[in-house]
Structure 1
Amino acid sequence: MAEKSITGHRNAVDRVLAAQGFALDLPGLGRVHLPRPEQLAYYGALGALAAAEIIEWPVAVVLATGHWLVQNQHNRVAHQIGEALEDA
């Protein structure tokens, strides 16, 4: 019964992480992972603001990097929760 619970927790974590984005198979590039549409909109808005010279390019890059790091940390926390549930 405990093994079934561990598998269930692992599957739940995998589903949460899979919902963080999607992937496209592009010719010549292979499988490309893309963030969720609202995250793409965020990056696009930063690019548009920088292109319109409303914000400087280095500021846009720092903001985009910070956003990516926060998302990466979220994924790491999800993995740690899954591992903790497996050990319980």
Structure 2
Amino acid sequence: MAEKSLTGHRNAVDRVLSAQGFAVDLPGIGRVRIPRPEQLAYYGALGALAAAEIIEWPVAVVLAAGHWLIQDQHNRIAHQIGEALEEA
């Protein structure tokens, strides 16, 4: 019974993490994670604003880095919740 519960929790965690994007295997580079469409739109909009010189490139880079760090923290929290569920 405990093994079935553990497998169920692990599957739930895998589904949550896979919903954050998907990965592509590129020759010579390896596995590259592709962000979700709304994240790609955010990065694209930052690039467009910087290219149109509406915002400066350093500002765009800082905003993109901050967004990436927030998403990374969210993924880490989801993983820790999954680990806690596995131990329960």
- TM-score (norm. length: structure 1): 0.91
Aligned equivalents of 2:85, 2:32: Cα separation in 1: 30
> 1:10 & 1:87 partners in 2: Cα distance?
10
Report how far residue 77 of structure 1 moved.
0.5
In structure 1, the residue corresponding to 2:43 is in which secondary structure?
helix
Give the share of equivalent positions with the same residue, in percent: 88
Q: Which has the higher contact order (CA 8 A, sep 6+)?
A: 2
| 1:17 equivalent in structure 2 | 17
Q: Which SS does the other structure have where 2:31 is aligned?
A: strand
Unaligned runs of 5+ in 1: none
Number of aligned residues: 88
The answer to which of 42-51 and 78-87 deviates more is 78-87
Provide Cα deviations, 1:54-83, integer angstroms capped at 9, x if missing partner: 011111011101110111011111111111
State the 1:5 CA deviation: 0.6
AA paired with 2:25? D
CA distance in 1, matches of 2:10, 2:25: 26
**What is the alpha-carbon root mean square deviation over aligned residues?**
1.2
Unaligned runs of 5+ residues in structure 2 are none
Structure 1 runs, 4 residues or longer, greater than 6 Å off: none
